[in-house]
Structure 1
Amino acid sequence: MSDTPAFVIVGASGGIGSDLCRRLASRGPCRLVLAARDPAKLERLAEDLRAIRGDVSITTRTLNATDSGAVDAVFAEAASMLGPIHGAANLCGSILLKPAHLTSDKEFGDTLAVNLLTAFHVLRAAVKSMPSGGSIALMSTVATKIGLANHEAIAAAKGGINGLVLSAAATYAARNIRVNAVAPGLVRTPLAERLTASEATLKASTAMHPLGRIGEPGDVGAALAWLLDPATTWVTGQVISIDGGLSCVRAK
């Protein structure tokens, strides 16, 4: 049983998290621990995954990942149940689009907590559960690679994740633990619905992306699944842009 890959996905019930879990379940037998705030959404996702494959073991845990002790407990329990964890991902996040002078202390603190603190908590807990090596995937944003107006708070939080990826990749390379992140542009998820539901905002964002569309959950989920694949053994310290070319391409 210990040869079957075991993954802990934090923030599993969101748009990208759900897509990632479906990809992990579809590619073969695996053991999944799914954690998120909403237990009802977690159970619906678990039912979907069991319908994909009968040989996928699924455990759900309600979790507020800003609570470091709660994150530690989920990973400790996962390791106790499943043995060494092969992969972990943190997909917790938020979107705050405000200029700095209109951002309150609470809004900035909440943005840091939901994005950067959760990433640190998951990384710290995950490495303790990977005695034989493994892969950790985090979420950054295109706003850390190109200046976008009104993204000060989220760019600061996700910029911290970029630094965390680099340092942790160096720290844990000798233990064969790989640490990477993906940096998406705007993706059509429930979290971004306030933006994508606006025809004017959607049109403007689409025009910004050289490939002529915003992202879909599968665009990012596929990259995360690749990073968590035990066969992807020579990739670490990377923040991979999944952004339709927004961060680096200027189309005619």
Structure 2
Amino acid sequence: MADSSAPVYILIGATGGIGSDVSRRLADDGAQLVLGARSEDELNSLAEETGGDPFPLDATKFEQVQDIVDHAIDTYGRLDGMVNFVGSILLKPAHLTSVDEYREQISKNLDTAFNTVKAGARAMMKEGGSIVLMTSAVARTGLKNHEAIAAAKGGVTGLMRAAAATYASRGVRVNCVAPGLVDTPMSKRILSSEAGRKQSEAMHALGRIGQPEDIGPAVCWLLDPETTWVTGQVIGVDGGLSTVRAS
């Protein structure tokens, strides 16, 4: 039976590196979780570990994001927060990026974020809540060969700020977390070679690649019901990548 006093959070892309870390943190704090992801096997494993409610979906399709929101409301009677962790990374200059590759970056990063805001904000307009989107340090500083992903993540940042303005009077806070390069399955191709890893480490002033546990606390803080005076913000958790030049 659902605990009416515990907050209810939807995590989309929950089985990824950062999403799974946040899932475990929130579960340890007693939150009720509805976990969304494409891979049913990974989703069921995470749900068993965290006590979450697994809900397979493709977040690029709005109707499926609406379905997970409807499921949360029908099951728990409330929704306190929603996070979209879905994303992808493409490192190519614009002239070598195919139209399909570009559209995939927009679909996985920006469309999923828009779907999260569209469905989540409507559900939280009466009681308020928190929406957290994932942007990136590459949307805050120019890095070569990042045109498509920078365009997508820049769109996420713009979406967040507009939505924060739209829904502020309804008590719905909308914010972004902007990581640097984090050691997750998504970045495996970049970090698979020793040269690639060393080059990436050197770009971060703190001299290392991020870990999921570096990002999780910022997401949880933005979800916390006590964080009631923070909206429209980009919280950089990037080892200094977006603001500091390593010597």
TM-score interval (norm. to shorter):
over 0.9
Instruction: Give the structure 2 partner of residue 66 of structure 1.
Output: 60
- For the 8 Å contact 2:165–2:232, the answer to whether it is kept is yes
Instruction: Give the structure 2 partner of residue 164 of structure 1.
Output: 159
Three-state SS of the structure 2 residue aligned to 1:150 is: coil
Instruction: Give the structure 1 partner of residue 46 of structure 2.
Output: 45
- For the 8 Å contact 2:93–2:145, the answer to whether it is kept is yes
Runs of 4+ with >2 A deviation = none
Instruction: Give the structure 2 partner of residue 147 of structure 1.
Output: 142
Q: Which amino acid aligns with 1:18?
A: S
Q: Which amino acid aligns with 2:53?
A: T
Deviation at 1:30, TM superposition (A): 1.8
* Cα distance in structure 2, aligned partners of 1:171 and 1:216: 33
Q: Which amino acid aligns with 2:59?
A: A
Instruction: Give the structure 1 partner of residue 132 of structure 2.
Output: 137
How many percent identity over aligned positions?
A: 53
Q: Which amino acid aligns with 2:5?
A: D
Query: TM-score, with normalisation over the residues of structure 2?
Result: 0.97
* Cα distance in structure 1, aligned partners of 2:146 and 2:211: 21
Instruction: Give the structure 2 partner of residue 95 of structure 1.
Output: 89
* Cα distance in structure 2, aligned partners of 1:249 and 1:96: 23
* Cα distance in structure 2, aligned partners of 1:18 and 1:176: 27
Query: TM-score, with normalisation over the residues of structure 1?
Result: 0.95
* Cα distance in structure 2, aligned partners of 1:31 and 1:85: 10
Gaps of 5+ in 2: none
Deviation at 1:216, TM superposition (A): 0.2
Cα deviations by residue, 1:58-84 (Å, 9 ceiling, x for unpaired): 211110001111111110111111112
Gaps of 5+ in 1: 51-57
Deviation at 1:3, TM superposition (A): 2.4
Alignment RMSD, CA only?
0.9
Deviation at 1:250, TM superposition (A): 2.5
* Cα distance in structure 1, aligned partners of 2:55 and 2:143: 36
Q: Which amino acid aligns with 2:82?
A: A
* Cα distance in structure 1, aligned partners of 2:60 and 2:8: 23
- For the 8 Å contact 2:131–2:174, the answer to whether it is kept is yes
Three-state SS of the structure 2 residue aligned to 1:129 is: helix
Cα deviations by residue, 1:47-68 (Å, 9 ceiling, x for unpaired): 2214xxxxxxx21111000111
Deviation at 1:221, TM superposition (A): 1.1
Three-state SS of the structure 2 residue aligned to 1:22 is: helix
Three-state SS of the structure 1 residue aligned to 2:157 is: helix
* Cα distance in structure 2, aligned partners of 1:251 and 1:33: 40
* Cα distance in structure 2, aligned partners of 1:247 and 1:77: 38
Deviation at 1:251, TM superposition (A): 3.9
* Cα distance in structure 2, aligned partners of 1:208 and 1:191: 18
- For the 8 Å contact 2:80–2:128, the answer to whether it is kept is yes
